[in-house]
Amino acid sequence: MGAGAVEQVNSSGNGYRSHGIAIPARYYSQNIIEPDLTAKKNHTLSPLHGMRVAIKDNFHISGTKTSLGNRAYYETYSVRNDTADVVLGLLDAGVHIVGKVHLSSFAMMEHPMQSVDYQAPFNPRGDGYLIAGGSSGASAAAVAAYDWLDFSICSDTTGSARIPALQAGVFGFRPSSKSISGKGLLKAWPAFDTPAWMGRDLGFFPHILRALHLSGPKAEPEFAKSHVEILYPTDFIPKDSPDQEQAMEDFIEDMVEYGGLTMTPGKDSR
């Protein structure tokens, strides 16, 4: 689909009332699909092409309603005729929007027993009755539960993405505020709200960032004006997960190269 072209599949239901989810076949994955013959010569598909994503229901998508996790809000406002910039960026990259997912009412923290308008998500970890966190609990639960879902787009204010990711056992990433467009995102706290995402594989997180980050000259970091040393703990480095450990080391190297920092490992002496 092209930019802004979203087709709602009615058979999959609406307003969290469905028993099924319509998803595109893996035939459309980036490893198989052929580029459009009308595309420019030497056109290269995005690494995200063909991936499946769920969108937290505080992002607008043209042709659908936005619930903000609240039934009164859903019934008050009509179908949207605009699409959030983040969603447009994903569509441009060839990502398939599978659907929207639940969030805590008005993007506030709520426990399952407080979710009175819509069914709260089940955390697939443990016995299946652990809380999924909020406000992006369903975004984390969906990625943890469905192996056919590649990642989910959510939002983070003071932990709305990072906390559910931790509780569901997936990776969550909150980019720096204002580094990604928040247009089309219903915000709870504008000074802190930012689009974020979750997934099971850290490897393609940089591709998501490249697809969504705002273009323009890079800001000169303030800490570059003076030497800064950052101490980071090594107690919790995941030695049993080489991929995750490597991702952390790569991040540290990028921080050192870009910011002129000194990163010093250390252990908690308590």
Catalytic residue among 67, 152, 155, 160: 160
Residue 56 bears catalytic tag = yes
How many Å apart are CA 164 and CA 109, to the nearest integer? 11
Per the CB < 8 A criterion, the answer to whether 142 and 123 are in contact is no
Paired sense of beta strands 229-233 and 262-266, if any: parallel
Q: Please give the C-alpha separations between residue 142 and each of 96, 133, 152, 153, 236, in angstroms, as whole numbers.
A: 15, 13, 8, 11, 26
Catalytic residue among 56, 65, 67, 115: 56
User: Which residues in 58-149 belong to E strands, given as ranges?
Assistant: 96-101
**How many residues in the chain?**
270
How many Å apart are CA 87 and CA 62, to the nearest integer? 10
Catalytic residue among 105, 115, 135, 152: 135
Residue 46 bears catalytic tag = no
Token pair recorded at residue 252: 């540290």
Q: Please give the C-alpha separations between residue 66 and each of 12, 142, 192, in angstroms, as whole numbers.
A: 16, 19, 21
DSSP notation for 41-78: TT----TTTT-EEEEETTB--TTS---TT-HHHHHHS-
What SS3 class is residue 266? Answer: strand
Residue 215 bears catalytic tag = no
Per the CB < 8 A criterion, the answer to whether 143 and 149 are in contact is yes
Residue numbers annotated as active site? 56, 135, 160
